[in-house]
Amino acid sequence: MSWSISFEKKIFDFKVPSGTSRGILTQKKSWFLTLSNTSKPGITGIGECSVIEGLSPDFISDEAYESVLQKLVEKPDFYISAIDNLRDYPSIYFGLEMALKDYLNGGKELFYDTPFVHGKFKIPINGLIWMGDYDFMLKQVKTKIDEGFRCIKMKIGAIDFKKELSILELIRKNFSAEQIEIRVDANGAFEQSEALQKLEKLATYTLHSIEQPIKQGAWTAMRELCTHSPLPIALDEELIGISSLKQKEELLQTIQPQYIILKPSLVGGFKGTEEWINLAHQFDIPWWITSALESNVGLNAIAQFTSKFEPSNYQGLGTGSLYTNNIPSKLHVENGYIQLV
């Protein structure tokens, strides 16, 4: 068997500039791998290597990133047989892993044969509220609720904290915690000295959890927050760059979070995500899976992978409608569920 790999970069344009604590996003890059083999001419597997500048641990520049991809082009047999050599490049690992699964299943965008793939299972998802001014964020909240979402995830940390609290207060005046589950995501925006005080204020609105209140890497400070916070804490960016099983176990033992959030493009693909899930089960830590701004190609693969676990809790897979030039997909979101139709 002789493998062949090629890659192509594509830039996706956001329909609406999307705010995070790291800045405003207007475009998003992905590199697509095409995998083929002389044993089955005509069949190709497609994988998406999705990066977020400033967050993806394996992305410094286009040139540096493509130099790694070029190694796959030059030595495809080696990297397919020894994919763990890419552990330090989680998005590329995921792209190759995805392309290989697609190829081995006939090049039909079939990654996992689950009820979800056959239209017999729907995955509950949250509705994402991007940062912006007060009116913009409030409008998004109303839209998501009108669309049938029963869980919303609101990014916080960019506008005045009191205004963010007022949005939460308005939601809670109209919807109880039983009616609408609210998750907030700080993307590490809080200073350590103020974090606990802010968490206490947020907790008054009966929130489900907060993602990454302080910047990643401060394990001791995060452990203190997880111990004393009245609001459950979910680790997100904290997991990025932790590639060995020993490191993963050490992180969970040290911080003891209430939840962990798994983004395959950032934590090493299906394999890396499943390692986190297995450890989370050992430590009795609930988890959910989130896409990381992939196109519909990567989102489809992540949704199929997630469906393996038949989750009943809300997953973060509602990013398929972000781009003006997204790749066509059979994924469909309705009433707060994602499904293949």
Catalytic residues: 155, 263
Look at the alpha carbons of 321, 322, 325, 331 in this order and tell me if their dihedral is positive or negative: negative
Give all strands of the β-sheet with 331-334 in edge-to-edge order: 123-124, 337-340, 331-334
Query: Around Cβ 306, how many Cβ atoms within 10 Å?
Result: 26
Rounded CA separation 283/252 (Å): 8
Helices (H), the chain: 62-74, 76-81, 90-104, 134-146, 161-174, 192-203, 219-228, 245-255, 264-267, 269-282, 296-307
First to last CA, the chain: 35
CA 316 vs. chain centroid, Å, equals 7
Would you state the structure tokens that stand for residue 292, as one six-digit string? Answer: 């990381």
Asked if residue 21 lies in contact with residue 154, where contact means CB atoms within 8 angstroms, the answer is no
Rounded CA separation 151/157 (Å): 20
Look at the alpha carbons of 269, 270, 271, 275 in this order and tell me if their dihedral is positive or negative: positive
